[in-house]
Amino acid sequence: MKLSKLFTHTRKDAPADEVSKNAQLLIRAGFVNKELAGVYSYLPLGLRVLNNIARIVREEMDAIGGQELAMPALQIKERYEISGRWDDKVVDDWFKTKLVNGAELGLGFSHEENLSPMLKNFINSYKDLPLAPYQVTTKFRNELRSKSGLMRGREFLMKDMYSYSISQKQHDEFYETVQKAYETIYKRLGIGHETFLTFASGGSFSKYSHEFQTLSEAGEDTIYLDRRRKLAINKEVLNDAVIRDLGLRRSDLEELRAIEVGNIFSLGTKFSKPFELVINDQDGKETTLIMGCYGIGISRAMGTVAELLSDEKGLVWPESIAPAKVYLARLGTDAAVVKTADGLYKKLQAENIEVLYDDRDVRAGEKFADADLLGIPYRVVISEKTLKDTTYELKKRTEDKTQNLAEPELIKMLAA
RNA sequence: CGGGGAUUAGCGCAGCCUGGUAGCGCGCCGCGUUCGGGACGCGGAGGUCGUGGGUUCGAAUCCCGCAUCCCCGACCA
């Protein structure tokens, strides 16, 4: 993509109504635009990051047997009356609306009531199990107080997977598989080193649920972390009995703020029993299916990476999710420089290396500042100076040093 | 939902106390000089001052209501 054609622009100042680092940087860089509190538009570069995160999550869900589908935002009232979740006293963050004929609808905040009745038409045998449909869709939650940029939205992108098993054993095995897949996802997103499995409230069907908490002062949760064991307990369930139960010691626990970047929990038969998801097991015995639910906020993950991996100059995307791999800066309008830069742009594209080509006629300082703010992993500079030397100058976003390279070495390095 | 703060040009702000129909910086447009870390000079465009009402000869400014945004708290299958 040529920067001269990109409709978004960077800004020196962040808007006054955004305090959180993630929102300030993402808005300054032109990745998102705020529409209302907790609701953002994703602009071309921001959408690339969001899609890259979703792609990684999809790959890992597919790898453990997840099957992607897409369910609607509009939800039927009657289904939620069956499960007991229509009442605002039970779920207080519903967005509700009506059909022209007056029938009430809700905007989906979670999709158990959608999926379970649907699967009654498809699951015929225990041999179909375990089954784990998932989706990446926009969720709506009427938060009393949205805050912290992308961290807590009223409309946000989420991956939600639901598992159906014939036995507790089968459920437990799948649950553990998902837990491992989540760890892989956070590693790939570049926040694995700061993300910890955290024991949280399990509700009525299991002792604990599990959250994945990323250490950050911008987080809303307080956790107690045993760094050596890489295990944490959410403050909401912390007590001596729980600490003992998990084989931890209070003196090893460190109190920290963290962002909940994912959670997985057992649902038991809460959403299978009301919808009569009953199947004969191997022995011919009627069994109500056991469910699990597994969420990752895709947009929140983007905010978390922005929050964690940025520095005083701007965003610092890991290669795995960056909007482009290379920022190609052409300095000056010298004919040889322009020709060389245009040529490299085409060659990088031919190698399938994603490149942002800064072909604007602006001064060097502005290009460097933008390359840093946008957080592109590699910066390549072409100028009259570099043409006299080995032609190209390469710099990593995370390092200060530069190196000069000739074209074959440069392409080889960037293609790696 | 309780408490606090804010709303004036695309962005950041001043003006309000002491009413007389708006100003600065950045950005944007034009010309020129510059050209490796957000240059400089000259000229220019751009605002029903969040919204509804009230007071007044006259309201960005004073009074009342509402909306939106931010922060703290509460809430968060």
Nucleotide nearest to A23 (CA to C1'): B70
Nucleotide nearest to A366 (CA to C1'): B38
CB contact set of A117 (below 8 Å; sequence gap of 6+): A79, A275
Predicted TM-score of the model (pTM): 0.97
Nucleotide nearest to A361 (CA to C1'): B35
Mean pLDDT calculated for residue range A339-352: 97
Mean pLDDT calculated for residue range A183-196: 97
Nucleotide nearest to A209 (CA to C1'): B77
CA-closest candidate to residue A272, choices A294, A295, A291, A292: A291
Question: What pLDDT sits at residue A208?
Answer: 93
Nucleotide nearest to A148 (CA to C1'): B70
**Which tokens is A199 given?**
């024991």
Average of per-residue pLDDT values in chain A: 95
Mean pLDDT calculated for residue range A321-345: 97
Express each pLDDT in A1-14 by its tens digit.
999 999 999 999 99
CA A147 to C1' B12, in angstroms, rounded, equals 22
Which residue's CA is nearest to the C1' of nucleotide B77?
A: A91
CB contact set of A15 (below 8 Å; sequence gap of 6+): A24, A27, A34
CB contact set of A293 (below 8 Å; sequence gap of 6+): A110, A112, A160, A161, A162, A163, A264, A265, A267
Nucleotide nearest to A384 (CA to C1'): B36
CA A366 to C1' B30, in angstroms, rounded, equals 22
CA A71 to C1' B69, in angstroms, rounded, equals 32
**Which tokens is A346 given?**
């085409």
For residue A288, pLDDT over 90 is answered with yes
Q: Chain B bases under 7 Å from protein CB? A: 1-2, 5-6, 11-13, 25-27, 34-39, 68-77
CA A393 to C1' B55, in angstroms, rounded, equals 69
Query: CB–CB of A201/A235 below 8 Å?
Result: no
CA A370 to C1' B56, in angstroms, rounded, equals 52
Query: CB–CB of A46/A26 below 8 Å?
Result: yes
CA A31 to C1' B22, in angstroms, rounded, equals 34
Nucleotide nearest to A141 (CA to C1'): B76
Place of tokens 């015995």: A285
Query: CB–CB of A229/A248 below 8 Å?
Result: yes
Q: Provide the pLDDT confidence category of residue A89 given band limits of 50, 70 and 90.
A: confident
CA A277 to C1' B27, in angstroms, rounded, equals 60
Question: What pLDDT sits at residue A59?
Answer: 98
For residue A203, pLDDT over 80 is answered with no
Give percent of chain A above pLDDT 70.
100
Backbone angles phi, psi at A60, to 5 degrees: -75, -30
Nucleotide nearest to A370 (CA to C1'): B38
Q: In Å, what is the CA distance from A208 to each residue of A195, A211, A237, A238, A262?
A: 18, 10, 9, 11, 15
CA A17 to C1' B15, in angstroms, rounded, equals 21
CA A25 to C1' B71, in angstroms, rounded, equals 19
How far is it, in rounded angstroms, from Cα A188 to Cα A125?
36
For residue A204, pLDDT over 80 is answered with no
CA A373 to C1' B75, in angstroms, rounded, equals 36
Express each pLDDT in A263-281 by its tens digit.
999 999 999 999 999 999 9
CB contact set of A69 (below 8 Å; sequence gap of 6+): A133, A134, A135
For residue A232, pLDDT over 80 is answered with yes
Amino acid letter, residue A180: K
Nucleotide nearest to A263 (CA to C1'): B77
CA A92 to C1' B4, in angstroms, rounded, equals 25
Q: Provide the pLDDT confidence category of residue A185 given band limits of 50, 70 and 90.
A: very high
Which residue's CA is nearest to the C1' of nucleotide B37?
A: A365
CA A292 to C1' B38, in angstroms, rounded, equals 51
Helices (H) and strands (E) counted in chain A, each on its own, are 11, 21
Question: What pLDDT sits at residue A414?
Answer: 97
Mean pLDDT calculated for residue range A333-362: 97
Question: What pLDDT sits at residue A206?
Answer: 83
Question: What pLDDT sits at residue A69?
Answer: 98
